[in-house]
Homo-oligomer: A and B are copies of this chain.
Amino acid sequence: MEIDVFATLNGIPDEAINNKTTIVVDVLRATTTITVALAAGCLEVIPVLSPEEAIEMRGRLEDERVLLGGERNAVKIPGFDLGNSPLEYTAEVVAGKRLIMTTTNGTRAIRRAAGGRQVVLGAMINAPAVARHVAAATTDITIVCAGTRDRFSLEDFLTAGLIVAELTDQGDFSLRDGALTARDYYYSHHSDLATAMKASFHGRLLAELGLEADMDFCAQVGTSDLVPVYSGGVIKKVG
């Protein structure tokens, strides 16, 4: 089996998605936050592309359990129940709820990866669990970094490298250049992932907004065993 990593979601050839196991990474903060929400008892997360689509869907679902979450430019969307900080998604707030979510890059990346045979969401907090889950896959594995507005995201590439490292610890894989480079990059920063993350464009933006605690949270490795899987337009925990 082969592993490749794509640094941005645009321009990925269809052959790298179709019938592959795809792992979507938007570590700051969508895939971290969704993992946390599902671990806290949220029933499902419905990713949508725009705030308008989220509001329209809430109206259509007519379900009191629905919450709206997400951000634009890292800030909570007006009229939404929740922003995009994993620290907001506690059991008190989300257990037994359905979440409609839209984020700048993460939801677009999930949609792009949707042609995969299996679509999994990866972050640092669940990287070992994601690797254990997909290591038995009988298809090649494609890791899709959400990036930042079609540009390279340091923190997503670093997370992709961590997932590749976890996978190659567990089995024999052939690594394409993206995977080889990402793993190498992770190895050179594994002793202090939070510092590396804070040097990124997105990290500096979150720091300006006073969100260092979010980054420290997102930089923890393996604190969750939850693996979110996207299927039929909805994200649920695996199994």
Contacts and interface: CB of A to CB of B under 8 A. Distances in A.
Given A181-B157, A201-B176, A8 B5 contact: no
A144 to B, nearest CB: 12
Nearest to A188: B188
Interface centre among A11, A16, A185 (most CB of B within 10 A): A11
Contacts of A213: none
A94 interface: no
A11 B13 contact: no
A4 interface: yes
A13 B185 contact: no
Contacts of A1: none
Contacts of A152: 4-7, 176-178, 181
Contacts of A185: 181, 184-185, 188
A181 B178 CA distance: 13
Nearest to A155: B177
Contacts of A4: 151-152
Contacts of A16: 151
A188 B184 contact: yes
A12 B181 contact: no
A180 interface: yes
Interface of A: 4-13, 16, 148-155, 157, 176-178, 180-181, 184-185, 188, 199-202
